[in-house]
Amino acid sequence: MEIRKVQITGGSSYVITLPKDWAESLKIKKNDPLGLVVQPDGTLLVTKDITEVQVQRAKKFDVTAIHEPAFLFRLLIASYIAGYTTIEITSKNRLPASVRMVVRDFTQMTIGPEVVEETDNSVVLKDLLNPLEMPFNNTIKRMYVIVKNMYLDAMNVLETRNPNLADDVAARDNDVDRLNWLVARQTNIILKNANLSRKMAVSTSMVINTYVISRIIERIGDHAVRWVDNARKLPEGELPEDLIEAVRKASGISLSLFDKSIVSYFQSDIREANKNIEQVGALERACEEINALAMSQEPLTAISLRNIAESIRRAGEYSGDISENVINYLVESKI
């Protein structure tokens, strides 16, 4: 760290010199304009970029030696999350159909990227979404609504064994994944662009906390899918009413934890977040009741019901984690 003393000129202007090596490395000359951005922690960012536009970053993949579609898909997702605005996929030979299918799946599973150029041996993807058009809170609200309804429908699947509804719950998990990847992408972009952080009126700590909560909601959605997967494995025939009621009770507690954790997040209520964490114990007891009742069933039924109870419990515990993150974020401003 270089220490430089502040000078006062004209009786009212505070002046500090810039490091010569830094100025020369950026080719800064006399009378060049520089941007000054006040950071949430009080530090001052000096930047040559005063356009306040999103930085354009390009990534190129040569898929000549990539023969695993799943690997290519993961590379594309990683590039998307990293914040690349242009992705080019090339090959020394004609692009195989499997690669084009991966590209199609990628554009359907993400928000923003579209194919803007295509030839026999290359495909160019361009991100058409302005990060400012998708505020973090709107994304979190949408994820919350989708996941909550997934759990409500999972309970219906258990009661009705409706295969179409089970398929729909699983399909909606893709929407949750897309939104979680979007939050991850915006987080990376903002951490690399202080101007964008200022324009979106979000601090670095808020961005990171929002990403953590988004990731937790995505995991809660995964357990809704596991619930319906285990409901599909149950043998034909109705379950005893006391078992159904036990699952309904545990699911209600779990959803209540989820509701209250999200409310405490949006209302910045640190005390309600703390109260919510204290309710996790009641959920654990309700899930133990399901396990005890499941012991009287046939082995296949018992295993599926215990797995359902585990998913309900994990969802509630993840909701408690959201409340913990709310406390961790708010502790500086509320206490």
Residue 39 scores a pLDDT above 70: no
Digit-coded pLDDT (tens) for 290-316: 999 999 899 999 999 999 999 999 999
Token pair for residue 324?
């913990």
Q: Exposure pattern of 259-277 as b/e (b: 16+ CB <10 Å)?
A: ebbbbbbeeebbebbeebb
Which of 283, 301, 282, 167 is closest to 244 using CA atoms?
301
Residue 12 scores a pLDDT above 80: no
Longest Cα–Cα distance of the chain, Å, equals 88
Asked whether the CA dihedral 225, 229, 231, 237 is positive or negative, the reply is: positive
Give me the chain's average pLDDT, please.
Answer: 90
| Cα 307 to Cα 233: distance, rounded to the nearest angstrom | 11
CB-CB contact of 59 with 86 (8 Å): yes
Taking each helix axis from N to C terminus, what angle separates 204-232 and 136-160, rounded to the nearest 10 degrees?
10
Residue-level pLDDT at 334: 61
CB-CB contact of 246 with 289 (8 Å): yes
Residue-level pLDDT at 231: 94
Residue 89 scores a pLDDT above 60: yes
Question: Which residues touch 213 (CB under 8 Å, ≥6 apart)?
Answer: 140, 265, 322, 325
Pinpoint the alpha helices (H) of 193-203: 194-199
Q: Which residue has the higher pLDDT, 57 or 125?
A: 125
Residue-level pLDDT at 333: 67
- Which of 5-19, 77-91, 170-184 is the least confident region? 5-19
Residue-level pLDDT at 236: 82
- Which of 59-63, 90-94, 204-208, 259-263 is the least confident region? 204-208
Domains of the chain, start order: 7-47 (2.10.260), 58-127 (3.30.110), 132-334 (1.20.58.220)
Token pair for residue 229?
């997967």
- The three-state secondary structure class of 275 is helix
CB-CB contact of 66 with 72 (8 Å): yes
Residue 53 scores a pLDDT above 70: no
Q: Which strand (E) or helix (H) includes residue 59? A: strand 58-62
Q: Which residue has the higher pLDDT, 332 or 7?
A: 7
Residue-level pLDDT at 78: 96
Digit-coded pLDDT (tens) for 200-229: 777 788 889 999 999 999 999 999 999 999
Q: What CA–CA distances, in Å, run from 196 to 49, 50, 82, 192, 214?
A: 12, 11, 16, 9, 20
Q: What percent of the chain has pLDDT over 70?
A: 95
Residue 270's identity, in one-letter code, is I
| Cα 222 to Cα 220: distance, rounded to the nearest angstrom | 5
Residue-level pLDDT at 47: 78
Which of 212, 69, 54 is closest to 128 using CA atoms?
54
Residue 273 scores a pLDDT above 60: yes
- The three-state secondary structure class of 29 is coil
pLDDT band for 41, please (50, 70, 90 cuts).
low
Q: Pairing relation of β-strands 122-127 and 13-15?
A: unpaired
pLDDT band for 16, please (50, 70, 90 cuts).
confident
pTM for this entry: 0.85
Which of 183, 189, 204 is closest to 85 using CA atoms?
189
Question: How far is Cα of residue 209 from the mean position of the Cα atoms in its chain?
Answer: 11
Digit-coded pLDDT (tens) for 145-196: 999 999 999 999 999 999 999 999 999 999 999 999 999 999 998 888 767 7
Token pair for residue 145?
């609504």
- The three-state secondary structure class of 211 is helix
Q: Exposure pattern of 137-149 as b/e (b: 16+ CB <10 Å)?
A: eebbeebbebbbe
Q: Which residue has the higher pLDDT, 79 or 134?
A: 79
Question: Which residues touch 318 (CB under 8 Å, ≥6 apart)?
Answer: 216, 219, 220, 223
Which of 44, 37, 1 is closest to 19 using CA atoms?
1
